[in-house]
Amino acid sequence: MAFSTVHRYRRAGLYAILRGLAGIIDLPSAVPAEFVHKFPYFDQAVVAIGGVHVPVMVSVEDAERFRNRKGWTSTNVLIVSDWQLNVAFIYPGAEGAAHDSMVLAHSNFLQKLPDHVCVLADAGYALHPQILTPYRGVRYHLNEFAEGTGRPQTAKELFNLRHAKARNVVERLNGCMKRRFRILRVPIECEFVVVKAIVFSCASVHNFIRRNNVADFAEDLREDGDSDDDEDVPVREDVLPFDFNTPSNWWDWMASTMWNEYNG
């Protein structure tokens, strides 16, 4: 079969998926109660965000723009996960050399967020009234705690540990997507508009599977390796309002209050 014929039918299949599953990628309307119980200080965080690089093949002229910091060409995809491993938003198409914060700025994601909620993001993003990031220059990644004492030594470390455990859902989603769809792990050779359709289609099919296959949902939950053995998570009886206009104060209030309860 001619390549042009394969390409034509591939595009037709992709667009059929996108039409058939239109609306399946959407922001959640509420934070699940089980998440709030486990991470009470993040009860206004509806999702976690991150960047994932999907390998692509581009022309020699475009190679430098798409070459990421690891040296291979990719599209930097903004992926947003809810707390149940569903894709809540996805924005493919940015050059591999683009910084995560730049990709976020070029998407319309923040415009979709209601005023009273926030998202969890890593240190690749800037602290913002609706973006809660970890403290910089302080242990953050879970393996850093595993290699050390395993327990936080300061208020900022405690905040970062709990933030990392909560935000880890987006890393798990990235891994789940790449295991499920091999095409996201190998260089995609086709028109760039088709690359974007492939990424959207994979995200849509992922959500469809998770919503309709109980066994798949249970299997993904079993892969959650996070443990709270290193700390007791207090149950807050009160919910204190945060001042979203002063994110650094919000940051520090959370860290100090967590620390006081942790040592109480």
User: Which pLDDT tens digit goes with each residue over 99-138?
Assistant: 999 999 999 999 999 988 999 999 999 999 899 999 988 8
Q: Which of 73, 76, 163 is closest to 127 using CA atoms? A: 163
Q: Which residue has the tokens 């880890």?
A: 168
pTM here? Answer: 0.85
Tokens of 80: 């947003």
For residue 59, give every residue at least 6 positions away whose Cβ sits within 8 Å of its Cβ, in sequence order, or none.
none
End-to-end CA, the chain? 70
Domain ranges for the chain: 3-262
pLDDT at 144: 65
pLDDT at 245: 57
Q: Which of 258, 264, 100 is closest to 166 using CA atoms? A: 258
- Distance in angstroms (rounded) separating the CA atoms of residues 69 and 82: 27
pLDDT at 246: 64
CB 155 within 8 A of CB 134: no
Determine how many CB atoms are found less than 10 A away from the CB of residue 125: 21
- Distance in angstroms (rounded) separating the CA atoms of residues 151 and 161: 9
pLDDT at 223: 53
pLDDT at 250: 81
pLDDT at 3: 57
pLDDT at 8: 82
Low-confidence ranges of the chain (pLDDT < 50): 225-242, 244
pLDDT at 155: 93
Tokens of 102: 């730049």
pLDDT at 23: 93
For residue 94, give every residue at least 6 positions away whose Cβ sits within 8 Å of its Cβ, in sequence order, or none.
75, 76, 77, 78, 102, 103, 106
pLDDT at 232: 40
